[in-house]
Amino acid sequence: MTIYTRILQQIGSSILVSLPTDWVKKNTLSKGKAVTIETNIDNTISIYTNYQEEEIEIVFELDNEAGNQNDMKNSDDQIEFNEKIIKIILNKIFGAYLLGYKRINVHSKNQISFENSETIKKATRKLIGLEIVDENSFNISFQFLIDAKTLNIQKILGMMNSIIQGMFRETIHSLNGGFSSDLKNKIASRDDEIDRQYFLLVRIIRTAIMNKKLASNLNLTNIDMLDYRIAANYLETAGDLVAELVTYLSELREGRQIAMLIKKIGYSLEEMQHYSIEAFISTSRDKAFKVIENYEDFKNSISELKKNIASNHQKPIDESYSITLVNSISCLDKIAKCWIDITDLAKPTYILK
C-alpha cells in the first residue's frame, strides 16, 4: 500500500484534491470519466471505479495437473490418478468460489467422463449460488447467479445458528432412547447445510474485502467483516461437534443417570448458544453476562457428571463405553467454548474469570 499526501486546493466554492497519477493510469481513467465517491461511517471516503462491477473469470484445465494416463500400469493406478486430478480441480473450484470469482470454467483437452462430470457437479452443490450455465463434453462452466448486494450476512449467521439449535436440541432430547440411524443421517445432512451457508458467508466477506463498494452496500466495516468471519467459523465448528456428539451419545443408552446429567448440561449449552449469538449481533454486555452465568452452570454440571462417574468406578464398565463417555464430555466442553469465544467477539468477558 502506497501512501500519498495531498494539499487541498480551492476553486470557487469547491475544494479539490488531485488523484495519484499511478492509480489513475492503472484504472485507465482520463478527463471526462466518472468515479464514485462515498463517505463512510468511520469518517473516511472511498473512491470507486467501474472495474469493481466487472465479472471476474477463471479457467482450470482438467488434464494438465499430473502425468499422462497412458503411463499408468494398471486400472488401480488409473483410478488413483483420476481421483487425484478431480480432488485438485475441486479444491481450485472451492477456492475460486471463496475468493469471489463469478465465472469458473473447467476445460479438458479430452472428453470429460460421465463419472468425473457427476463428481464435480455433486461436490459443487455445496456452493450456494454457483450454477452450471454451460456444459459439453470438454467444458463445464459455472456462474455465481446471486447478487451479493442483496445478501445479508447477519441473516446467514442467524440461519446457521438456527440449524445448530435444532440439531443440538434433537440430539440431547434423544437421550431418552430415541437415537436411530435416521437421526444421525438428519444431523449429518443439516451439518452439510451449515457448511453451505458458511461457504456463502465467507465468499461474501472476502468479496467485500476486495470490493469496498460492496462492503459499503452491505454496511460492513473492516472490523465487522473480521468478526463475522470468526463467528461463522465458530458456528461451523459447533455444527461439526454436534454431528460428532450424536455418534457418541447414541452409545450411552444404558446409563440413565448419566443421560439425565448430560441433558442438564445440554440445557445450559442451549442457553449459552442463545445468549452468545444475541450478544454478538446486538453487542450487548448484559447478554454476554448471561453467557458467563450459564457457563458457570455448565462447569458445575460437568463436575457433577465427573463425580458421578468416579462414584461408580467400582462397577465394571466397558472400556469402549468409558472412551465414548470421555469423548462426549470433550465434545460438550468444546461446544461451550465456541459460545464463549463468540461472546468475546461482542464484549470481552475475561474480567469475570
110 and 248 assigned to the same domain: no
Residues 124 and 203 in one domain: no
- Average pLDDT of the chain is 84
180-207 per-position pLDDT tens digit: 778 888 999 999 999 999 999 999 998 8
Which of 82, 116, 144 is where one domain is finished? 144
Q: In this structure, are 103 and 182 located in the same domain?
A: no
Residue 32 domain flag: yes
Instruction: Tell me: pLDDT of 325 over 80.
Output: yes
pLDDT tens string 130-153: 999 999 989 999 999 998 888 899
Whether residue 271 sits in one domain with residue 153: yes
299-308 contacts, C-beta under 8 A, 24 or more apart? 301/261, 301/264, 301/265, 301/268, 302/265, 302/329, 302/332, 302/333, 304/261, 304/264, 305/258, 305/261, 305/262, 305/265, 305/329, 308/257, 308/258, 308/261
Q: How many domains does the chain have?
A: 3
Residue 1 domain-assigned (yes or no): no
Q: Are residues 319 and 260 in the same domain?
A: yes
pLDDT of residue 224: 87
**Which residue, chain included where needed, has cell 430415541?**
178
**Please, are residues 233 and 239 in contact by the beta-carbon 8 Å criterion?**
no
Residues 190 and 125 in one domain: no
Q: What is the pLDDT of residues 103-131, one digit of tens each?
A: 999 999 888 999 999 999 999 999 999 99
Cα–Cα distances in angstroms (integers) from residue 35 to residues 7, 213, 312, in the given order: 20, 12, 74
Residue 3 resides in a domain: no
**pLDDT for the residue 351:** 43
Domain interval for residue 22: 9-53
Task: Choose one of 99, 118, 144: the last residue of a domain.
Answer: 144
